[in-house]
Amino acid sequence: MSNKLLEKIQTEINENKILQTLQEEYPVKELLEFNEFNVGEKLQWNSYYTEQFRLLYIAEKQKLDRIIEKFDQKSGEQYDYYKYKDSRDLTKTEIERYYLPTDKELIKLKRMIKLQETRVSFFEALVESFKSQGFNMRNFLENLKIGG
């Protein structure tokens, strides 16, 4: 099995674990379901939940941005080391292709970026779901008024 395939499988497994943990931590399925008996109450709370999950999305996005900044900083430091302090006179391509991808700290930061991207996507999707839910509930109420 190729190394890239193994990495992809490992990443997907980690993403599934993160999503499962987030779904357990934020059991929103009940919040997103509505019927003719609870649609009014759900509609009243919809903007509150939309805003709360938007704030969580922003917080998680800021964490992602900080990790990316750390990665870029560390990557730059490592590049400078290999380019100017290493005695082997390495080319840009050699550094970027063979040395930076094997740096343990950069690998760790890349993994953190992937996992944080999963968290950001989760909250972004929730915000969109609550926005859609508000629209769907209004349509639902209109159809009930019409008799549909």
pLDDT tens profile 74-98: 999 999 999 999 889 999 999 999 9
Segment 32-61 shows an average pLDDT of: 95
How many residues appear in the chain? 148
Query: Residue 13: pLDDT band by 50, 70, 90 thresholds?
Result: low
Higher-confidence residue of 92 and 6: namely 92
DSSP run (H or E) holding 102: none
Count of structural domains within the chain:
1
pLDDT of residue 10: 66
CA distance linking residue 103 with residue 11, whole number of Å: 18
Give a yes or no: residue 89 inside a domain. yes
Give a yes or no: residue 106 inside a domain. yes
Whole-prediction pTM: 0.82
Give a yes or no: residue 14 inside a domain. no
pLDDT of residue 146: 85
| Per-residue DSSP letter, 2 | -
Is pLDDT above 90 for 62? yes
Give a yes or no: residue 127 inside a domain. yes
User: In the predicted model, what is the mean pLDDT of the chain?
Assistant: 90
Is pLDDT above 90 for 11? no
pLDDT of residue 12: 65
Structural domain containing residue 61 = 50-148
Q: Which amino acid is at 86?
A: D
Instruction: Judge contact between 86 and 80, C-beta under 8 A.
Output: no
Query: Residue 14: pLDDT band by 50, 70, 90 thresholds?
Result: confident
